[in-house]
Structures are given as C-alpha cells and as structure tokens.
Amino acid sequence: MRRLVTIAYSSTFLSADAFRLAIRQAKEGINVDLYGSLVDEFGKLLPDDPLAQKDAEWMQNQRRKAKTQTDRLEHELRQYRNNLIKESIRVRIDKVSRPN
C-alpha cells in the first residue's frame, strides 16, 4: 500500500494506475481517512473517473464497524483490568493469611 501511494504521488506516468490500485486496497481495509485522502487526490488528477467519487455509504459502514470494535475492545480491557485487580487482591490476602 505504501509503495502504491509513493508511486501515485511521485510518478506522473504511473500515478493514475497507482491511485486506482491504492484506492481499491484502501477500501479492503478499515482506514477511512486514508481512503478519503486518496480519493481526494485522485479527484484532482482525474475528476471524471468513477473512483474519484467517495463511497459515502462504505465510509459510514466502516466507521460504524470501527466504533463497534473499539467499544467491544474497551469493554474487554475493562473486564481484564477488573479481573487483574481482583486476582491481585486475592494473592495479597493469601500471602497475609498464610504464616511463613
């Protein structure tokens, strides 16, 4: 992906094809900002190309998926922290209650 973006910005001969490939690859991922910036730059180069138009529905869906995944991961992290705190307290109580 990085190579395609570099080629798209630096090569006048290959930039259109590199942008097309980079936009397609960006759409396979979840980075909406990268996709948007690539489409904007490609729109400056070839405004009449169909790929020069942002896919707003895809962008909204990806943002929603990312938000859902972030919320889920934050919830899991809170659970792991709570379990770790509980385990730490249990270990300390075990140490205190056992005579050496």
The DSSP annotation for 22-49 comes to HHHHHHHSS-HHHHHHHHHHHHHH-TTS
Could you tell me if 71 and 35 lie in one domain? no
pLDDT tens, position by position, 70-83 = 999 999 999 999 99
Among 54, 70, 85, residue at a domain's last position: 54
CB 32 within 8 A of CB 59: yes
Domain count, the chain: 2
Confidence category of residue 28, pLDDT binned at 50, 70, 90: very high
Confidence category of residue 38, pLDDT binned at 50, 70, 90: very high
Other CB atoms within 10 Å distance of the CB of residue 52: 19
pLDDT at residue 90 is higher than 70 = yes
Q: In terms of residue numbers, what domain contains 98?
A: 56-100
Could you tell me if 39 and 74 lie in one domain? no
pLDDT at residue 92 is higher than 90 = no
What is the pLDDT, as a whole number, of residue 44?
A: 93
